[in-house]
């Protein structure tokens, strides 16, 4: 009989500890964050002072211009390179139904030529 009472008491204690651990679980809050990414080519251009500052050391100016234009804010992060060895990259563009979609583009043409032309045009304004 004493053994039975001890087991009942132990069982009640285990149930109490189980309830306590269930109640002690942390509350999980899901915070949804919406980021509106701009389509490629719609991002704001850097200021003239910023462009002048990156043109001073010319060997890294194109890379710095791309970083300044596409990665300084969350909403301008509209390009990505999924594989470093690939010749393509992905950019956010509007499709026919005006939805933003990731599309594959030629990496050299899209990154270097388009941004180099903009940075040279920007620098040309200062030279005249």
Count the neighbouring beta carbons within 10 Å of the beta carbon of residue 2.
6
**Residue 23 pLDDT exceeds 50:** yes
Say what the pLDDT of residue 118 is. 65
Residue-number span of the structural domain to which 86 is assigned = 48-127
Name the most confidently modeled range: 16-20, 21-25, 120-124. Answer: 16-20
Q: What is the mean pLDDT of residues 18-34?
A: 76
Average pLDDT of the chain to the nearest whole number: 81
Measured between its terminal Cα atoms, the distance across the chain in Å is 103
- Looking at the structure of the chain, the number of domains it has is 1
User: How does pLDDT run across 86-102, given as a tens digit for each residue?
Assistant: 889 888 888 888 888 89
DSSP secondary-structure letter at 79?
E
Distance CA 3, CA 11 (A): 12
Is 106 part of any domain?
yes
Report helix, strand or coil for 93: strand
Give every CB contact of residue 106 below 8 A, 6+ residues apart in sequence: 87, 88
In the structure, what pLDDT confidence band is assigned to residue 25 with cuts at 50, 70 and 90? low
Query: CA-based angle 44:45:51, to the nearest 5?
Result: 155
Would the pTM of this model clear 0.85, i.e. be above it? Answer: no
Give every CB contact of residue 77 below 8 A, 6+ residues apart in sequence: 37, 70, 71
Is 25 part of any domain?
no
Is 11 part of any domain?
no
Is 30 part of any domain?
no
Is 20 part of any domain?
no
Is 16 part of any domain?
no
């Amino acid at each position: 009989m004493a053994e039975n009472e001890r087991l009942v008491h132990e069982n009640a204690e285990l149930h109490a500890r189980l309830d306590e651990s269930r109640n002690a679980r942390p509350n999980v809050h899901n915070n949804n964050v919406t980021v509106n990414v701009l389509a490629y080519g719609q991002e704001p251009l850097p200021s003239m002072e910023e462009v002048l500052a990156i043109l001073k050391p010319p060997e890294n100016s194109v890379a710095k211009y791309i970083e300044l234009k596409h990665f300084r804010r969350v909403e301008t992060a509209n390009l990505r390179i999924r594989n470093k060895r690939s010749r393509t990259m992905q950019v956010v563009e509007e499709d026919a139904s005006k939805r933003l979609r990731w599309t594959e583009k030629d990496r050299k043409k899209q990154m270097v030529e388009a941004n180099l032309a903009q940075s040279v045009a920007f620098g040309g304004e200062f030279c005249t």
